[in-house]
């Protein structure tokens, strides 16, 4: 078990972004297309955070062209280039799965001042 912790310790990023559930964030993801590499932004609301250590992940949800899109990002992945907080949200739940059933303004999260 200690060997796993040593290997996992090398993969953990020193500076992790400070964001919480309900925040609207912009995640810059490295995309490989053949030999080229580019950065693609994915902006949405954080609806869940799971795990700890190397296995820590967060789920971001947005609505694109009337269709809900959710992506799960590993926090310590080298493919996650940057995470920027666009807006802070005020919520009272640790998981916002109820936003999946809501449409329009009902799916909005209040802003924390």
**H/E element, 29:** strand 24-33
> How far is it, in rounded angstroms, from Cα 37 to Cα 28?
12
Domains of the chain with bracketed CATH? 2-102 (2.30.30.790)
**Sheet of strand 57-64: strand arrangement:** 67-74, 57-64, 36-50, 24-33, 80-87
Which pLDDT value is given to residue 92? Answer: 95
Which pLDDT value is given to residue 14? Answer: 77
Residues 29-63 have pLDDT tens digits of 999 999 999 999 999 999 999 998 888 999 999 99
The pTM is what? 0.87
* Residue 56 and residue 74 in contact, taking contact as beta carbons nearer than 8 Å: yes
Residues 82-99 have pLDDT tens digits of 999 999 999 999 999 999
The H-assigned helical ranges of the chain are 2-11
Helices and strands, number each (H, E), in the chain:
1, 5
């Amino acid at each position: 078990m200690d060997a796993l912790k040593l290997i996992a310790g090398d993969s953990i990023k020193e500076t992790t972004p400070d964001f919480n559930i309900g925040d609207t964030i912009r995640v810059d993801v490295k995309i490989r297309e053949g030999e080229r590499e580019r950065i693609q932004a994915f902006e949405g609301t954080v609806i869940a955070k799971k795990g700890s250590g190397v296995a820590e992940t967060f789920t971001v949800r947005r609505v694109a062209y009337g269709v809900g899109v959710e992506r799960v990002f590993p926090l310590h992945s080298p493919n996650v280039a940057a995470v920027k907080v666009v807006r802070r949200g005020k919520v009272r739940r640790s998981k916002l799965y109820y936003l999946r059933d809501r449409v329009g303004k009902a799916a909005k999260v209040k802003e924390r001042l």
